[in-house]
Amino acid sequence: MTMSDTSVNKKLKHVRVYDQLYEQILNGTYPAGSQLPSETLLSEHMGVSRMTLRKSLALLIEDGIVKNVPGVGNFICSPDTERKQESDLSSNKHPIFSYSTKVPDNTELDFRMEPPTRSILDTLNQYTPAVVITDRWYKKDNVPFAYSLSFLPIELIAEKQIDLTHPDELLHYLESDCYKTMASCHRICSYTTTGNFTADKYAISEHDSFLLIQENIYDENGRIQVSSKHYIPAGLFRIELSL
């Protein structure tokens, strides 16, 4: 065997471990929802180093088969359930529901009405005497994991007859109706480290790596109806494209 062959086989060792673990997950050795053994025990069982095992686990996590819970361990996901959730949510264009691998079961909303600053007027690209500023913290099992900040001209609130004494109406508009009635939407996705201190009320991740989706929703006249920033921890971000 040549040196290059040895090198190739060494590189592929983690792939072979991936395949073995994948088969064990499929045959029920490690059923959906169960926790994998510790890395030390699992690497000994597979007969590989912990470095090789971590590479294999990283691929399983990347493919949505295993989920890592920091400080707790690695758990088996249900691919069929994940696909069903994606299908069920396909009509919801909101970035937190579309691009996060974690699906919220609760949303906490705060809002306030203020005279717009110059920067907000520039963001909305129109004059408005007042702006409704909304904060939303998206939670799973009552733990915040994502955050959205939105600006709405006060004229839109009147036009859409959103009753601010019933915050659920505002939340429903921001999460659903604005996407159903929009003429177009423009999004910019970028990396940021500002998610935790922007979310303010809660830290939404143990780390400072976030995907930021800056979003403007337009009406048929080209006016911005909603301008938003959505923050998703980098470890939860996933985007699927059909071209």
Q: Residue 148: its pLDDT value, please?
A: 98
Residue range 182-211, pLDDT digits in tens: 999 999 999 999 999 999 999 999 999 999
pLDDT at 161 over 50: yes
Confidence band of 228 (pLDDT split at 50, 70, 90): very high
One-letter amino acid at 10 equals K
Q: How far is CA 176 from CA 16, 20, 95, 172, 179, in A?
A: 44, 42, 11, 6, 6
pTM given for the model: 0.72
Structure tokens at 29: 């050795």
Which domains are seen in the chain, by residue range?
3-82 (1.10.10.10), 89-236 (3.40.1410.10)
Residue 35: Cβ within 10 Å count: 12
Residue range 68-78, pLDDT digits in tens: 887 888 999 86
Q: How far is CA 134 from CA 11, 31, 33, in A?
A: 49, 41, 35
The terminus-to-terminus CA distance of the chain in angstroms comes to 43
Q: Residue 89: its pLDDT value, please?
A: 40
Residue range 118-139, pLDDT digits in tens: 999 999 999 999 999 999 999 9
Tokens 């069929």 found at? 80
